Amino acid sequence: MEVLNYDIIIVGTGLAGLRAAVEICRKNSRVKVALISKVQIMRAHSVCAEGGTAAVLHPEDGDSFELHAWDTIKGADFLADQDVVMHFVKICPEEMYLLDHWGIPWSRKEDGRINQRPFGGHTYPRATFAEDKTGFFEMQTLYDRLQMYENWDRFEEVFVTKLFIEDGKFHGLFAYDMLNGKFLVLKGKTVILATGGGGRIYAFTTFSHAVTGDGLALAYREGVPLKNMEFMQFHPTGLVPSGILMTEACRGEGGQLRNNKGERFMDRYAPEKMELAPRDIIARAEMTEILEGRGFKGPDGLDYVHLDLTHLGREKILERLPLIREVTMSYIGLDPIEKPIPVRPAQHYTMGGIDVDIDGRSKVPNLFAAGEVACNTLHGANRLGTNSTAECIVWGRITGEKALEFVENEKFEPEIPEGKIKDEEKRIVEFMQKDGKESIYQLRKELRQTMDRYVGVFRDEEGLKTAVNKIREIKQRFKNIKVHDKGMYYNTDLTTALELENMIDVAEVVAVGALERKESRGAHARRDYTKRDDKNYLKHTVAEYTPEGPRISYRDVKITIWKPVERKY
């Protein structure tokens, strides 16, 4: 076992993690920074973001901070903290121009200005884009920038298993170095969790296989609350049968949704916005069409509707949506220039996350979270497209600043009791030696199917109770798992088991939170409580860990400008 010392530890190397690292290194070349990723750094899921990043870049053409904020708050079904939203929209343009100066190849207008496209729920086309590979180019730009600095170390293919919280502060973490077959202990004066959401607790999802809620579960088990976890976003256009994201930019560029009668059905659900309504509204519209028999029969029950780009023409598709064409041709042998694409709602985003404040700081003063793993209440009950990559970059910067301030201003030397290190080492070794009868792969399959079936686009009390009971049954069966591989080098049986442990905890919080919230708001649509209930549930859900399951409480939403009104599009 190796014990290493750092000033700042960043867990996760997507947009939020890389932006935090750049901010720290560019401001202080003396602090020691560790970047930890359970995959290779540039394999973080952020590279999959396609459509764009929201920012007010052209106020001279009619956009404004107030308009971006209003769109975000209305899109959130009024569950967003409005001070957080205003803080966010004002920083977004600064970050877009900074990326521009650092060399990102933004798509341009004919006059040379940065181009922007329409996106769902936005009243102005403010999605700043680089073809349909925005996340990849943002990641590449940040990674390239990071190469200018020398005060950081990389830990790739390293799986964090425990955070050490002592006397109310973070002191370090325990990790399994898959590549080198050993355990690591990293002591740190502060940590930034940037590990992404929990998309893989669902079977039909747009998310990469690595997105298993690890950071969420690590913080939750150490007493850091999770917030608003019942609000899971379902993207309307997941490719059937894989779930691969067909970016909202398809509709931003003029793509249309059609049922098996050839009808452009969104005029029944959002006549003003049509295909550019917020995602929760379109996802429910698609599922209604499918459930009422106006969808197309798909494999394994994955019935679908059509995303039609054929009228856009070859030239526009090749210029604006080249990745979409490449993906559909590679995965299903379909050319969207010639034929419509089969799509249905797929789990896409975790609106909830680790309970943090406007600076990304949790109840543990030196534990920060940024990006999708965090819930600073920007997205409320439903995230608008392009606000996620913006959130990652904005709070990557903010948490980088605040973590650096902590290190520079606080006299704090991390210490981890030797006994606790030995306990975690023993736990992981025992995990590896488990020789029970339950298959981790079968349990994972059952968990994900349960979430798809009972905690999806539409929910009700009976289904949610079934889900909670099933998750808790899986939790008990998990104690009797078998880990076949007993070796230390690249033991994917072990990491899959550790991921499943995290997925079970996260799924339980999601299902219990959904059961307790007896209303419909944003992405949380109850068939038995179909109306929004501001009197009882204009509140954030806070889930705290107990051995018996999450303890649920509520916290008021911060309303500073706009009072809730009926949400129409």
CA atoms within 13 A on the CB side of 569: 24
| Closest to 286 measured CA to CA, from 208, 352, 204, 353 | 204
Catalytic residue among 19, 122, 171, 251: 251
Query: Under a CB-based contact definition with an 8 Å cutoff, are residues 157 and 401 in contact?
Result: no
* Element at 175 (helix H, strand E): strand 169-177
Angle at 354 between CA 171 and CA 523, to 5 degrees: 170
Catalytic residue among 19, 235, 517, 526: 235
Task: Give the C-alpha separation, 503 to 498, whole Å.
Answer: 9
Give residues with Cβ within 8 angstroms of 473, minimum separation 6: none
Reply yes or no on whether 251 is catalytic.
yes
Q: Give 175-178's long-range contacts (Cβ < 8 A, gap of 24+).
A: 175/36, 176/428, 176/491, 176/494, 176/495, 176/498, 178/38, 178/489, 178/490, 178/491, 178/492, 178/495
> Mutual orientation of helices 82-101 and 134-146 as an angle, nearest 10°?
70
Residues present in the chain in total: 569
Residue 267: other Cβ atoms inside 10 A: 11
Q: Where do runs of H (alpha helix) occur along 201-270?
A: 214-221, 249-252
Reply yes or no on whether 68 is catalytic.
no
Give residues with Cβ within 8 angstroms of 9, minimum separation 6: 33, 34, 36, 172, 173, 186, 188, 190, 191, 192
Tokens read off for 245: 């994201």
Q: Which residues are catalytic?
A: 235, 251
